Amino acid sequence: MTWAWRPESGRRQRLAPTAANARPAFGYYRSERESVEWRAFAIQVLALQDDTIASVTNSYYPTTLNVPAITKGTGTVTILNDDIGMPWLKLAAGTSGQMTIYLGNPTAAQDTVTVTSAKPDVAKVPSSFLAQSGRSTLDFAVDAGTPGTSLITVKFPPSLGGTILTANVDVYTPATLAMQPPSLSIPVNTTSTLTVTMSPAPPAPA
């Protein structure tokens, strides 16, 4: 976070997000103009009510204590396989779809990936599929059966990293609408009735 308040007398001030007493808080740090260190000065604890801040409690560090400082520095962070995952899938009963696996890096080899469904009557999947080399996404077919939820598990062989991924397939009963009469002509300044029926009927309000 950037400056907490306007700099005064050459002193820089900054807030750092943290937590205290199971509440959101900010550490309040100060630094002299020419200093490379940020010295802890206080901690500000927020009390939240709904979506607003109800109060802020300030607790100041005694100046005689040797409080740790935040020192400026640089470094390198390398993120690998950041996008690996398998999103959930929602299908109408009696239809088919595809689950997609996203890989952070392309596959380094060609090998067989195994697939299982916790409830084959809900979601049917192939027992395995061949992952081609150099692919950053992989797909396999899913057949939706009876309404419900089934957990799909995908296991990669050691040659492809040995990763295990899981995701749900939600199968629902599609609704249809019927109108009676199918067509209706209404003269000017008159009224008529058109009935729309949903099948299956929506659940009653709680």
pLDDT digits (tens, 9 = 90+) for 44-102: 888 887 778 888 888 876 655 555 555 555 667 655 545 578 999 999 999 999 999 99
Tell me the three state secondary structure of residue 159.
helix
Confidence (pLDDT) at 17: 84
What is the C-alpha separation between 4 and 12, in angstroms, rounded? Answer: 9
Q: Which CATH number is 89-172's, of 2.102.10.10, 2.60.40.10, 3.30.750.24, 3.30.160.60?
A: 2.60.40.10
- Residue 159 and residue 111 in contact, taking contact as beta carbons nearer than 8 Å: yes
**Cα(158)–Cα(113) distance, integer angstroms:** 10
Contact 76, 63 (CB under 8 A): no
Distance from C-alpha of 21 to C-alpha of 77, rounded to nearest angstrom:
31
> pTM for this structure?
0.52
Give the percent of the chain with pLDDT over 70: 80
Burial (0-12, 13-18, 19+ Cβ within 10 Å), 54 = exposed
Residue 168 in 3-state DSSP? strand
